[in-house]
Structure 1
Amino acid sequence: MLHRILWAISTHARACLVVGLIGGLALPSLAAAMVPWLPHMVALLLVTTALRVGHREALGAIGDLRWGLAVIVALQMVVPLILLGLLHLAGLSDTPAALAVVLTSAAPAITGSVNLALIMRLDAGRMMQILVLGTAAFPVTVLPVLWAMPQLGAAGDILGAALSLLAVIALATVVGFTLRARVFPDPSPGQIKALDGLSVLAFCIIVVGLMAALNPALRADPRVVLNWALLAFAIGYGLQLLALMVLRRSPLRPFAGPIALAAGNRNVAIFLVALPADILAPLMIFIGCWQLPMYLTPVLMPKLYARALRHD
């Protein structure tokens, strides 16, 4: 019975993501109750994802990561500094929207990026490599951004959060890989589909808590939420589109899908530990809105990815 439920979830993964978003908006009490448990849920999501991917798929092409560091530096350091420079020229560098743009583009990929890759039938092993490498490099890549925007807060707090996140990712990944090796060393197609469904289910549940700030904000001032949502879609889809356009005719074309997903789906919440209280409140609404383009990426973006990555 359980495996049939998981198969159904896997088959209808995109619809399940939409249901998760609706749940986050329609069940504010449940969303608020889940907030204290979000760190634990993120860890369980990572375990589930590593269980599905397996160590062979994630580590099988580790030698190809020669390009990885350059990609991470470009995504997490070069892009935010360029965007900050453009915002400064436009006289907008001190606005909350500019802060959201820079923070988002400086962050590593979200922990759920591997789930997005699985749903979109992209290379989940490569995506996990990018996730781990980007998180590991974040304490270094973020330093120039902190220097350029000292209002972000104490560097030590942000670096500490990055190292804590890296430790959680490493531990959860090891647990997931170990479970895969011992329980599903040679999984059947049916078991793979059930693991896909389990991964999607975990991803759908966690979004309910991540959107806890959105329902009260919608009731207080829908126009503010709409503005933050439009900004979130512009950043998330704009960075994905830019990455696809740049990489589709480059030597990195085989990895363009996972790189584009990493470019447009960032873990901006990592910065919240160091932000002043007056900046934290509006950014919580942005983080709630930020879930919308991320969870809708497998619904709205597959044709764009297919068109950009098809063989000419």
Structure 2
Amino acid sequence: MIAGLAALARHGRLMLVLGLALGGLVPPLAGALAPWIFEMIALLLFLAALRVDLRAAFPGRRSLPRYLAITLLMQLALPVTAILLLWALGASATVLGIGIVLVLAAPPLTGSPGLTILAGGDPTPALRQLVLGTALLPLTVLPVFWLLPVFGAPGVVAEAALRLLGVIVLAGGAGVILRARLSWIRRTEGQGAVDGLMTLAMAAVVVGLMSAVGPAMLAPTPVFWITLAAVFALNFGAQAVALLLTRRRVPRDAPALAIIAGNRNLALFLGALPPETAAAMLLFVGLYQVPMYLTPLVMAPVIRRFARMSWRPSAGPD
């Protein structure tokens, strides 16, 4: 069984593409998994904490202010700016507008270090931003939730933020404790098994997130095509802008920062949204998975060319 899980981890890209295809082509399976999305996201947080040595992943004293500034820019300044712009355009209450804001407010995708490796970059900055961004999410999301029209009353905002905090603390804390207690998990064999479980969980999440995409593919409407174009533009646009802005200032970190700029853990918010809003968001969230899992294929040539010019692997933790 352990060897089988390790084999799954080695074929992670294939498993994720398979999950993407199953979710779109087998709507009954996607529909059966859709109600469990939030629980599966919590499982992914648990497995990520089980897999990662947080002491090595957390930024050092010298680099902490820079990582903190990036987190506040990506998870607070950008979504608040987007809300103000969408409000001026009269689109802040639309599904597309809400989706854009939630993407910008979300922490990096749990699999962003792996995506960075597949794209040819140093995964260390992505891992550190993932840890810091997820830890600070209950704080950075408060003003975003307060400004979003779907939440309304301050009590609803506080309740949504507390749900997120509870999931992060319980799932992440359980993973940290179990990793500290079981030395086998920290060995190569244990890490391979956890990687295999993460691959399975990510594939299952993708299937569930595609529950609204399959039916929409059978009879695509203008909303479907507009949403698909928007998620591609948002994902790859954010990656391109981040790469251009960071390639000279922090060339070693630029590939990872580009990956995390566009690939966010949007699904984490599904359990915090009002039920009717979460249901309406499923098409946006499902379609957003497509550019995320195409990132290694699309961005790898760009990042590898950039890497040959200016990036060198990290010599060690800051």
TM-score w.r.t. length of structure 1: 0.81
Contact persistence 1:115–1:199 (CA under 8 A) = no
Deviation at 1:14, TM superposition (A): 1.8
Deviation at 1:243, TM superposition (A): 1.1
Deviation at 1:24, TM superposition (A): 0.8
Identity %: 40
1:184 aligned counterpart, secondary structure: helix
2:293 and 2:258 mapped to 1: Cα distance? 15
Matches of residues 221-236 of structure 1 in structure 2 within 5 Å?
221-236=220-235
Map of 2:173 onto structure 1: 174
2:271 and 2:178 mapped to 1: Cα distance? 32
Paired residue total: 308
The one-letter code sitting in structure 1 at the alignment partner of 2:165 is: L
Deviation at 1:111, TM superposition (A): 4.0
Map of 2:129 onto structure 1: 130
- CA gap of 1:161–1:253, structure 2 versus 1, over 3 A, is farther
2:252 aligned counterpart, secondary structure: helix
Q: Which runs of 5+ in 1 are unaligned?
A: none
Contact persistence 2:59–2:67 (CA under 8 A) = no
1:254 aligned counterpart, secondary structure: coil
Structure 2 residue corresponding to 1:302, chosen from 289, 300, 303: 300
2:279 and 2:204 mapped to 1: Cα distance? 24
Deviation at 1:234, TM superposition (A): 1.0
- CA gap of 1:39–1:274, structure 2 versus 1, over 3 A, is closer
Residues 117-148 of structure 1, C-alpha deviations (whole Å, 9 max, x = no match): 46557555543442343244344434554565
2:206 and 2:186 mapped to 1: Cα distance? 31
TM-score w.r.t. length of structure 2: 0.80
Contact persistence 1:214–1:289 (CA under 8 A) = yes
More helix by share: 1
Contact persistence 1:24–1:212 (CA under 8 A) = yes
Deviation at 1:289, TM superposition (A): 0.8
Contact persistence 2:266–2:285 (CA under 8 A) = yes
Matches of residues 249-288 of structure 1 in structure 2 within 5 Å?
249-250=248-249, 252-269=250-267, 270=269, 273-274=272-273, 277=276, 281-288=279-286
Contact persistence 2:75–2:107 (CA under 8 A) = yes
Deviation at 1:46, TM superposition (A): 2.0
Q: Which runs of 5+ in 2 are unaligned?
A: 311-318
Deviation at 1:41, TM superposition (A): 1.6
Map of 2:245 onto structure 1: 246
RMSD: 3.2
